[in-house]
Structure 1
């Protein structure tokens, strides 16, 4: 006899089953993106994938690295309603996101760079000053001591690998 935790009934007891056109929210553990995480036969899986397998059978395998995805028509990551699920590839998922305009840069929080980064040790004016110094022997060590940064940071600033938005002053020709 199967352990009580390893049954489809146990899984479905953690799903808020409603009418066939409504989302059925997984009420168990969720990951940071809102996907339900369920343990079945001692393997943790996304809840919507288990819902698919319990309803339609095993998810077919393919030769791609990521395999076949179980996608949501409703775009609700915790939904386990089999009527809201369909199979597809990573490319299908990306196409679906684009069609529904869910894959935009507005969903990505802006990255704080330069002096707006709370870990920054320098201001834009200091970087501008560093960039406009003549390159001499020992310049990285001198700058690292003066501004309390590493020699590598000094080198990256001078070579333009970091603080790319601060341009050096160009000489007049």
Structure 2
């Protein structure tokens, strides 16, 4: 570690610096806003979380979070 490369800043400053220098991991989401909306519709129509997760290729917990509004919140 070279101390001359360090500077004082917040976590947000650090995150911006990381992105600007191309050092951040790129996250590719499997779900989109329209997909999350469709998941809620399927669940409301009686489809099980397991069946929905099989359709979209994600685990049950991901679908459960969408259905409960813990991810992909309504805006």
Scaled to the shorter chain, the TM-score interval is 0.5 to 0.7
Gaps of 5+ in 1: 1-27, 36-76, 78-101, 110-116, 169-173
- Tell me the number of residue pairs that the alignment of Structure 1 and Structure 2 aligns: 63
Gaps of 5+ in 2: 17-25
Deviation at 1:119, TM superposition (A): 2.2
Determine which of 13, 25, 29 is the counterpart of 1:120. Answer: 29
Larger helix proportion, structure 1 or 2?
A: 2
Choose between structure 1 and 2 for higher RCO, CA contacts under 8 A separated by at least 6 residues. Answer: 2
Compute the TM-score of the two structures, normalised by the length of structure 2: 0.61
Larger radius of gyration: 1
Deviation at 1:31, TM superposition (A): 7.9
Larger strand proportion, structure 1 or 2?
A: 1
Question: What is the match of residue 2 of structure 2?
Answer: 29
Deviation >2 Å, runs of 4+: none
The CA RMSD measured in Å over matched residues stands at 3.2
Distance 2:4 2:48 in 1: 48
